[in-house]
Amino acid sequence: MESFKNFYFGEHELREQDDIIRIVTRSKSYNNNDQETLRDAKILQLNSNRNQRSWLVRTNCRLYKILDDRRKPDAIINWSRTLSRIQGAHVTVDGKKENIWYIRFSFRTKRRYIVKKSLVTIDKVNEFMN
């Protein structure tokens, strides 16, 4: 049951994995006519804190980056890319902090994303991408 504090401040519980996967259908890039389905979708959590979680969702056609923020009414689809565009993409990591990395994808070189070391390994991201 939602607490009064959450109701009063317009907050909600962070969404479960299945809900995050379904959110991609709201993307303008989601193409139901192109046989894109959620049946074999994969999900990878990149980061988590008290108020937010960030995710990668991979369908049979696209890769989506999603931010779930308990202070916002809906999760945000930050971007999506076709699988053909990310084919052969590599992931680089930098950062000297004890519990976080900054991850960068070769198809989005100007952006880096905070990743919790306890949630993700580079091998896990590379496996997810391929």
Q: Mean pLDDT over residues 41-69, rounded?
A: 91
The answer to pTM > 0.85 is no
- Across the range 15-33, mean pLDDT stands at 88
Distances (CA, A) of 67 to 30, 48, 64, 97, 98: 17, 10, 10, 22, 23
Q: Are strands 91-94 and 100-105 parallel, antiparallel or unpaired?
A: antiparallel
